[in-house]
Chain A
Amino acid sequence: MNKNGFGKKLVTAPYTLWMVIFVVVPIALVIYYAFTDADGGFTFENMTYIFEYGKTFLVSIELALISTAICLVMAYPVAYGISRFEARRQQTMIMLVMLPMWMNFLIRTYAWMTILEGNGLINRALRYFGSDGFGMINTEGAVVLGMVYNFLPYMILPIYTVLTKIDVSTIEAAKDLGAGRRNVFRRVLLPMSVPGIISGITMVFVPAVSTFVISKLLGGGKTFLIGDIIENYFLGNTGMINYNIGASLSLVLMVLILISMTVMNHFDKDAGEGEGVLVG
Chain B
Amino acid sequence: MKLLSKVYNFLVFGFLYAPIAVMIVYSFNSEKSRTNFGSFSFRWYQELFNDDIILKSLYVSLLVAVLSALAATLIGTLAAVGIDSMKAPLKRAYLMVNNIPVVNPDIVTAVSMMILFVFVITRINGLNMGFGTLLIAHITFNIPYVILSVLPKLRGMNSNIYDAALDLGCPPLKSFMKVVVPEILPGIITGFIMAFTLSLDDFVISYFNSGSTAQTLPVTIYSMTKRPYSPKINALSTLLFISVMLLLVVVNIRQSAGVKKDKKTIKKEVR
- Contact A99–B159 (Cβ < 8 Å): no
- Contact A161–B85 (Cβ < 8 Å): no
Residue of A with least CB distance to B225: A110
Within B23-81, the residues touching A (CB, 8 Å) are 23, 26, 34-35, 75-76, 78-79, 81
When chains A and B are docked, how far (Å) is the Cα of A82 from the Cα of B13?
Answer: 12
- Contact B16–A110 (Cβ < 8 Å): no
B-side contacts of A114, CB under 8 Å: 19, 22-23, 26, 34
Residue of B with least CB distance to A5: B85
When chains A and B are docked, how far (Å) is the Cα of A23 from the Cα of B271?
Answer: 18
A106 contacts the other chain (CB 8 A): yes
When chains A and B are docked, how far (Å) is the Cα of A223 from the Cα of B203?
Answer: 21
B-side contacts of A153, CB under 8 Å: 16
When chains A and B are docked, how far (Å) is the Cα of A25 from the Cα of B115?
Answer: 10
B186 contacts the other chain (CB 8 A): no
A interface secondary structure, majority: helix
CB distance from A253 to the nearest CB of B (A): 6
Residue of A with least CB distance to B159: A1
- Contact A26–B267 (Cβ < 8 Å): no
- Contact B118–A254 (Cβ < 8 Å): no
CB distance from A106 to the nearest CB of B (A): 5
**Could you say which interface size class chain A belongs to?**
35 or more
B218 contacts the other chain (CB 8 A): yes
When chains A and B are docked, how far (Å) is the Cα of A47 from the Cα of B225?
Answer: 33
Take A78-B9, A203-B264, A257-B105 as given contacts and tell me if A29 and B79 are in contact as well, using a CB distance cutoff of 8 Å. Answer: no
B interface secondary structure, majority: helix
- Contact A107–B233 (Cβ < 8 Å): yes
When chains A and B are docked, how far (Å) is the Cα of A121 from the Cα of B204?
Answer: 29
Take A30-B112, A102-B244, A247-B115 as given contacts and tell me if A3 and B105 are in contact as well, using a CB distance cutoff of 8 Å. Answer: no
A-side contacts of B78, CB under 8 Å: 11-12, 14-15
A-side contacts of B128, CB under 8 Å: none
- Contact B82–A25 (Cβ < 8 Å): no
- Contact B8–A81 (Cβ < 8 Å): yes
CB distance from B164 to the nearest CB of A (A): 11
Within A207-252, the residues touching B (CB, 8 Å) are 207, 209-210, 212-213, 217, 227, 230-231, 234-235, 243, 246-247, 250
Within B214-257, the residues touching A (CB, 8 Å) are 217-218, 221-222, 225, 233, 236-237, 240-241, 244-245, 248-249, 252, 256
Beyond the given A158-B264, A199-B268, please list 15 additional residue pairs across the A-B interface where CB-CB is below 8 A. A2-B85, A14-B75, A23-B97, A24-B100, A26-B115, A78-B8, A81-B9, A95-B258, A107-B233, A121-B34, A154-B264, A158-B268, A212-B107, A234-B111, A258-B103
9 shortest interchain CB distances as A-B pairs = A12-B82, A15-B79, A111-B19, A210-B105, A26-B112, A199-B268, A11-B78, A22-B140, A1-B159
Binding site for A on B (CB under 8 A): 5, 8-9, 12-13, 15-20, 22-23, 26, 34-35, 75-76, 78-79, 81-85, 97-98, 100-101, 103-108, 111-116, 118-119, 136-137, 139-140, 143, 147, 159, 162-163, 166, 172, 197, 201, 203-204, 207-208, 217-218, 221-222, 225, 233, 236-237, 240-241, 244-245, 248-249, 252, 256, 258, 260-261, 264-265, 267-268, 271
